[in-house]
Amino acid sequence: MNQVSNAMTIDVEDYFQVSAFEKHIPRESWDRIPCRIESSMDRILNLLDEKQIKATFFTLGWIAERYPKMIRRMVDNGHELASHGWGHARVTDLNQSEFKEDISRCKMLLEDISGQVVQGYRAPSFSINNNNLWALDRLAEAGYLYSSSIYPVQHDHYGMPDAPRFANYPRGEDGILELPVTTVRLWGRNLPAGGGGYFRFWPYSVSKWFINRLNTVESRAAIFYFHPWEIDDKQPRQIGIGYKTRFRHYLNLHRMEERLRTLTHDFKWDRMDKIFLVDKGRR
């Protein structure tokens, strides 16, 4: 284990709330679907406690409203609570007024439940891009200190491949701090190295090499993310979804928890705010 502290982050949403399923699972049906988030979160929190790791949980307001005890357990265990918006609406699908309402409503609820200030935000599906950078201004106005919403990769659903790979101020020094999920620069392009479906796709040795390279060659902290549903290999399988969506969502779910266990052993981890928010949010 090297001595660089990396950021462990979890996007708290259930399997039926992912953007890839939005055409197959209508939002108005969510209240009728049995949630599976509690059992997955129990396993995640137990693993983090066992490894003595503190993490950042980007949490949907929709989930927090229904499971406040789960939220309080996160905070009582020393983890950072951050916002993932209210109902997993992508920023690209909202106007400025709707977005401001979404992020303010979520922040207020999370703070009411936890008794702590919520400083961070991650857009559903990394849906902040060159066409809606105004969202960063609305986040600052709502009282957020940092965002982790711009993924500097090429992807068919999201990404800004030319965006900075490390902590930066897209709207100037007086604006919000952007903390991109980790990439590794190879062969003239940014390769996704910060978790999610890629962590299930790459052999573990590749992910380990990526993060070790970032820590040792570039002397940078990695930002890693995953979802609770990614360790839930017994979740209901959706019918009628395309092959690409099926492959991306279900690939190696049965291996995910063991890979996470190995990852938590091989590297040092901490909360986003403890690593990046120094000198009142400036680094």
**Domain regions of the chain by residue span:** 5-276
- pLDDT single digits (tens) 155-167: 667 768 999 999 9
pLDDT score, position 170? 96
pLDDT score, position 124? 97
- pLDDT single digits (tens) 61-112: 999 999 999 999 999 999 999 999 999 999 999 999 999 999 999 999 999 9
- pLDDT single digits (tens) 252-269: 999 999 999 999 999 999
- Per the rule left: phi > 0, alpha: psi between -120 and 50, beta: everything else, 199 is alpha
Q: How confident is the model at residue 137 (pLDDT cuts 50, 70, 90)?
A: very high
Supply the CATH classification number for the domain 5-276.
3.20.20.370
What is the model's pTM?
A: 0.95
Answer whether 19's CB lies under 8 Å from 281's CB.
Answer: no
Instruction: Give the mean pLDDT of the chain.
Output: 94
Q: How far apart are CA 146 and CA 140, in angstroms?
A: 8
Q: Give yes or no for residue 125 having a pLDDT over 80.
A: yes
Give the DSSP per-residue string, 144-172: --EE-----S--SSS--TTS-SSSB-TT-
Nearest to 182 by CA among 172, 169, 191, 171: 191
pLDDT score, position 281? 41
Q: How confident is the model at residue 283 (pLDDT cuts 50, 70, 90)?
A: very low
pLDDT score, position 154? 77
- pLDDT single digits (tens) 197-213: 999 999 999 999 999 99
Three-state DSSP class for 10?
A: strand
- pLDDT single digits (tens) 24-75: 999 999 999 999 999 999 999 999 999 999 999 999 999 999 999 999 999 9
Q: How far apart are CA 278 and CA 178, in angstroms?
A: 14
Three-state DSSP class for 118?
A: coil
